[in-house]
Structure 1
Amino acid sequence: MSEVKDVAASVRSPRTESFNFGPWTITSVKGHILKSQQLERYHQELELPQLPEMLFGDNVLKILNTGGYGMEFNALDSMKRVDAHNAPFKVAAAQKWQEARSDCEFINKVVKPFDWTYTTDYKGTLLGNLQESPTDQRIDMEKLKVREKIHFYEEMTLFEDELADNGSASLTVKMRVMQSCFFILLRFFLRVDDVLIRIHDTRIYHEAGESYILREFTSREKSISDLKVEPSLYTNPTEIAEHLDITAEQYDRIDFPQADSEMT
């Protein structure tokens, strides 16, 4: 009987995987969708009356330097960037969404509207004494297209919601580590049926030997009525992205502490 319990516990436990890249340790933790009894912390720390249907609170991607600084990506911090006081727009889909969630005790207590699309401009969580500043430097995307052996790859979902069958909202993070660099893509994808498609992409790049990370954030969106593509593309973020309009861009250089720059 104890063996059966041990197996069940191992199934429920998050999977942890680590990889070393020079002075960096990359840790990936992947678990299951949080159950209602596990969501208390989120309700305590967030003002949101309702959370995504599929919230992977155990999922964390963490990149930590031996100097004690780095970055991580997690669902809780991404939720903190969702507007808890204003609805994005009033459309039929919003009413359908609320009706579908009418049995939620938190929804019924709402005085003010909130962003039920869970749009977030989360760019990752910085750890340690890192310095952010605007930059004219750009990630060399052509260099990233060069075939180089991938030593580590990870892809995980932080949250996902079907918007009560009125579309989809999700936040995913992908990372690959090559011999000369690592690259991360954090993507928020939103589709509200018959309304719009929105994509927030955060690209993060570090080249081995450099004392900084480049981070590029791009926001794109377009009304579905203005899209001149096959509807089959609506559910493919990679394909539809090039057909959306850029609404915001931000380019940052994240410098490491000077005392540790030689360690990179």
Structure 2
Amino acid sequence: MAVAQGFRSSKQDFSFGPWKITAAKTHIMKSKDIERLAEEMKLPALPEMLFGDNVLRIEHSDGFGIEFNAVDALKRVNNMQDSVKVACAQEWQESRADSEHSKEVVKRYDWTYTTDYRGTLLGENVSMTPSPTTERIDLEKLKAREQIVFFEDVLLFEDELHDHGVSMISVKIRVMPTSFFLLLRFFLRVDGVLIRIHDTRLYHEAGSDFMLREFSARESKISELKHVPPPLYTDPNEIAQYLPLRFSEFEKLDFPVKE
């Protein structure tokens, strides 16, 4: 079977002390699998580009860890109501409805695929325990020019909202000699309406018995971004600083205690 030019499935494993970091990137999910998944999730449509087998996994030799995958991210999407009302929403939803069933009422759901997913904790019998914390990830320390021994960026899903913007979630990790840092970012731009960014940052320092996980939700109506050059609207890294913080949560993920 011919592979699309320029695309190659890849799976990388990287060892960091007792940790095994796996980054798998492969093709968009097949349509029959997408249909089955949409039915399970009670969503009338799923993102145009859904990478159901893409994953970033961080697993300890004792069997616990955390992973980031598209299916679990979509499970956090509201399948009962719209999150954004725009003039084009009805027309857009109707265009996504299966033509055979076009006479049925199109089910309301969050067509922006907004998710507050923060990762999936792993472990059969043991897993990390999240609890609120006053500790913070030292972002200044992360800006220091420490050697990066491993880096990967994995796209989980993306949808162009029928040419009315973009909704996407991706996860990137960088491993330094003494720590690793991960950013899971959900980015939504509905043209002429709003921009929303949900970030999950995860940090672990070698030798410590916990990870720090920080979640933040930022959002602004585009009408309130008149002072920002429009070309920045399409760049999550640039626009993030202009979006007011709506919500944040700080957690410590404690490792299971050995018996």
TM-score (norm 1): 0.90
Instruction: Say whether 1:29 aligns with 2:11.
Output: no
Give distance in 1, aligned partners of 2:149 and 2:8.
25
Letter in 2 for 1:251: F
Report the counterpart of residue 220 of structure 1 in structure 2: 218
Is contact 1:101–1:107 with CA below 8 Å preserved after alignment? Answer: no
Q: How does 1:81-230 map to 2 (within 5 A)?
A: 81-103=76-98, 112-128=107-123, 129-227=127-225, 228-230=227-229
The amino acid of 1:73's aligned partner reads: F
* Residues 246/104 of structure 1: CA separation in 2 closer, same or farther (3 Å cut): farther
In structure 2, give the amino acid aligned to 1:238: N
The 5 Å alignment of 1:9-20 reads 14-20=9-15
CA separation in 2, counterparts of 1:18 and 1:110? 47
Partner residue in 1 for 2:33: 38
What residue number does 1:59 align with? 54
User: Normalising to structure 2: TM-score of the pair?
Assistant: 0.92
Matches of 1:49 and 1:155 in 2, distance apart?
29
User: What's the offset of the Cα at 1:238?
Assistant: 0.7
Unpaired stretches in structure 1, ≥5 consecutive residues = none
Secondary structure of 1:259 counterpart: coil
Partner Cα distance (2:254, 2:102) in 1: 42
Listed one character per residue, the Cα deviations across residues 27-59 of structure 1 (whole Å, up to 9, x for unaligned) are 111001112123244124311110000001110
Match of 2:45 among 47, 50, 54: 50
Amino acid paired to 1:30: K
Deviations 1:101-148 (A, max 9, x none): 144567865664110000000001011221110000000001100111
CA distance in 2, matches of 1:198, 1:17: 31
Q: Match of 1:241, SS?
A: helix
State whether residues 93 and 192 of structure 1, in contact with CA within 8 Å, keep that contact through their aligned partners in structure 2.
Answer: no
Q: Which residue of 1 aligns with 2:252?
A: 253
SS at match of 1:185: strand
Q: 1:66–1:48: structure 2 CA closer, same or farther, 3 Å change rule? A: same
1:180–1:106 CA distance, 2 compared to 1 (3 A): farther
Are the counterparts in 1 of residues 94 and 102 from structure 2 also a CA contact under 8 Å?
A: no
- Residue range with higher mean Cα deviation, 86-95 or 207-216: 86-95
Secondary structure class of the residue paired with 1:34: coil
**Alignment partners' CA distance in 1, 2:84 and 2:180:** 38
User: How many corresponding residue pairs?
Assistant: 254
Shift of 1:93: 2.8
Does the residue aligned with 2:258 lie in a helix, a strand or coil?
helix
AA of the residue aligned to 2:56 = L
Superposition deviation, residue 100 in structure 1: 2.8
Question: Which stretch shifts more, 213-222 or 39-48?
Answer: 39-48
Cα separation, partners in 2 of 1:108 and 1:27, compared to 1, 3 Å: farther
Structure with the larger helix share: 1
Gaps of 5+ in 2: none
**Structure 2: distance between partners of 1:242 and 1:59:** 29
Distance 1:110 1:82 in 2: 20
The one-letter amino acid of 2:146's match is E
